[in-house]
Amino acid sequence: MAKLLHIPENHTQRFNLHNEIHARPPVSLSTPTRASYLALIVTPEEKQQERGHLSELCQRFGIESPSEQVSHFSATFDNFLFHWEQHGEFSTYCFYVKQVDTKSPFAKTALEQAPVDWLDKLVGKSIVAAHAVIIPSPEQQPDAAEISVYFEGNAVVGSKMTGDDAQAFTDFRIHNDGFSRFIILDKQLQPEQAGRLMQRLFEIEVYRVMALLAFPIAQELAPKVSAAEQRLSELTTEMAQEDCDDKELLDQLTQLAANVESHISNSQYRFGAAHAYYKIVEQRICDIRESKIQGIQTLGEFLTKRMQPAINSCQSTAKRFSLLSERISNASQLLRTRVDISIEQQNQALLSSMNMRAKMQLRLQETVESLSIVAITTYIVNLFHSILKGLKSAEIISIKPELISAASIPVVLILVAIIIRRLHKVIKNIDD
C-alpha cells in the first residue's frame, strides 16, 4: 500500500481543472444507430430554465436529475439515449436510437422517441437541427448518385474518415423537415470511435453556423466603416488648410471617434467569437482525418471554400475598424497638439500684455511716488513753517520763518527720499 504523503492545501479549482479534460465525453454507439441533434441559443436566464426543464424529463423517466454545477449530462431512458451539453452561447440536445431502416434511414428519426410535450417547451432559439445515422457500409463502394438518394438528390460532400474505418456524407442543406442530414457508413468502427465521429460531425455543423453569425454584422458594418474612412479623409484634408478651425475639427473628430468606438464595442465580441468558432471547425475537420473519395468533395474542401471568404470578410471588417480607430486617434492627437500650441501662444501673448501693464503700472507708481515725495516735503515744510511762525510771534526767535522754511526744503526733500528708498528695500527683502 502506497504511503499517504502530506501535501499543502489544495487550490479551490484544483480538482475542477484536473477533471476538465474528462468533461463532455462522447457516447459509445453501435451500428446501426440514428440520432437527432438540436442546438439552441440561450440567454443566461434561459440557462436556468432549461435546467429545470431537464429535471422534468428525468423525473418523468425516474432518472436522477443532474446537479446545478454540471454542464453536460447523459442518461438512457426507456428507448433512447439522451445527451445534453451547455456551452457559452448555446445548449445542445442529442437523442440516439439503435433501430435504423437501412433502406430508408431518415424515414424515422430519433427525435420521435422524445416526449412531444416536453420538446415543445424547450427554451432558446434553434440555430442547428440535424439528423444522422450510422449504418453498415455496403460491400460495394456506393457512388455519388447512390449517396445523393439519401439527400433528396442534392449534391453531396464526404470522405473516408478515421483511417478509412468509415465514410461520412452530407449535403449541408436544411431539408423539408427543417433538419440537415449526415450519414455514416461503418466499415470497422469501434463504439467509442463511432460516438466520437458523430459528435465531431455535429460539432462541425453547429460551430460553422455559430462562426457565420458574424457575417451579417460584417455586411451591415462594411458601408459604415467605408463612410467613416471617407469622413476621416475629408477631415484630415481640411486639417492641412491654413485657415481651418481647429476647435471645430477636433469636435468633429471626437464625434467620429465616438461612432467608430461604438461600432467596435458592439461587434468586437461577435467577431472574436467567429474567429474562435472557425478555429474549432478547422480542428474538428483535422480530427476526423479525412481522405478523399474519387469524384466527391471532402468536408474540409467544401467548408474552406464556402466559409473562408465570409470569415475573411469578418476579420477584414474588424481590422478596418481597428486601424480606423488608430488613425482617428493619431489625427486627434495631432490636432490637439495644434490646439495646445495655439493656446500656448495666446497665453504667451496674454502674459506679455500683462507684463507690459505691470511695467506701466510700475512706472506710474514711481511717478506717483515722486509726486508723493514733493507732497510730503510740502506738508512737512508747511508744518515746520507754522511752528516757526508761532515761535516768532512769541518772540522766541527773531529770524523770519520764511527764510528758515525755505532753507529746510532741500534737507526735508532729501530725508523723505532716503526714507522712502529704504522702505522699498525693506519691502523687497520681505518679498524675496
pLDDT at 8 (0 to 100): 78
pLDDT tens digits, 209-262: 999 999 999 999 999 999 999 999 988 888 878 777 778 888 888 899 999 999
Nearest to residue 235, comparing CAs of 168, 318, 335, 321? Answer: 335
Is the pLDDT at 6 greater than 70? The verdict is no
**419 pLDDT exceeds 90?**
no
DSSP E strands in 163-311: the ranges are 166-170, 180-186
The per-residue b/e assignment along 283-308, b for 16 or more CB within 10 angstroms, e otherwise, is: ebbebbebeebeebbbbbebbeeebe
With helix as H, strand as E and coil as C, how does 203-217 read? HHHHHHHHHCCHHHH
- Nearest Cα neighbor of 55 from 70, 40, 41 is 70
Q: Nearest CA to 148 among 157, 159, 140?
A: 157
- Find the angle CA(60)-CA(86)-CA(196) to the nearest 5 degrees: 95
Cα gap 85→76, rounded to integer Å: 15
Taking the C-alpha atoms of residue 160 and residue 145, their distance in angstroms, rounded to an integer, is 17
Q: How many helices (H) and strands (E) does the chain have?
A: 9, 8
Q: How confident is the model at residue 370 (pLDDT cuts 50, 70, 90)?
A: low
CA distance 227 to 247: 22
State the Cα–Cα distance between residues 190 and 31, nearest whole angstrom. 9
Q: Give the pLDDT of residue 53.
A: 92
pLDDT band (50, 70, 90) for residue 347: confident
CATH T-level assignment (fold) for domain 214-348: Methane Monooxygenase Hydroxylase; Chain G, domain 1 (1.20.58)
Query: Would you say residue 297 has pLDDT above 90?
Result: yes
Q: Do the bridges between strand 125-136 and strand 81-86 make them parallel or antiparallel, or are there none, so unpaired? A: unpaired
**What is the band of 89 on the pLDDT scale with cuts at 50, 70, 90?**
very high
Q: How many CB atoms lie within 10 A of CB 278?
A: 23
Q: What is the pLDDT at residue 371?
A: 67
Confidence at 311, pLDDT banded by 50, 70, 90? very high
Residue 5 pLDDT: 58
Q: How far apart (Å, rounded) are the C-alpha atoms in residues 268 and 392?
A: 106
Is 282 a residue whose pLDDT tops 80? Answer: yes
pLDDT tens-digit profile of 100-136? 887 888 989 999 999 999 999 999 999 999 999 999 9
Nearest residue to 137 via CA among 98, 179, 194, 192: 194
Cell, residue 299: 468536408
Preceding peptide of 32 cis, ω within 30°: yes
Highest mean pLDDT pick, 116-125, 341-350, 357-366, 377-386: 116-125
Beta 81-86 vs 72-76: how paired, if at all? antiparallel
C-alpha cell belonging to residue 359: 511695467
pLDDT above 70: residue 369: no
- Enumerate the domain spans of the chain: 24-190, 214-348, 358-431
**Given strand 81-86, what is the order of strands in its sheet?**
72-76, 81-86, 90-97, 33-41, 125-136, 180-186, 166-170, 157-161
Give the mean pLDDT of 75-79. Answer: 88
| Most confident range, picked from 235-239, 335-339, 360-364, 377-381 | 235-239
Q: What is the pLDDT of residue 112?
A: 92
pLDDT single digits (tens) 328-343: 998 888 888 877 777 7
pLDDT of 320 > 90? The answer is yes
C-alpha cell recorded at residue 431? 518679498
Run of H or E residues at 37? strand 33-41
pLDDT (mean) for 27-40: 92
> Cα 377–378–379 angle (5° rounding)?
90
181 DSSP β-pair partners: 131
C-alpha cell of residue 217: 454584422
Q: Are strands 90-97 and 166-170 parallel, antiparallel or unpaired?
A: unpaired
Q: Can you name the residues that pair with 94 across neighbouring β-strands?
A: 37, 83
CB of 93 closer than 8 Å to CB of 122: yes
Q: The C-alpha cell of 270 is what?
A: 461577435
With 70 as the cut, is the pLDDT of residue 1 above it?
no
Output the average pLDDT for the chain: 86
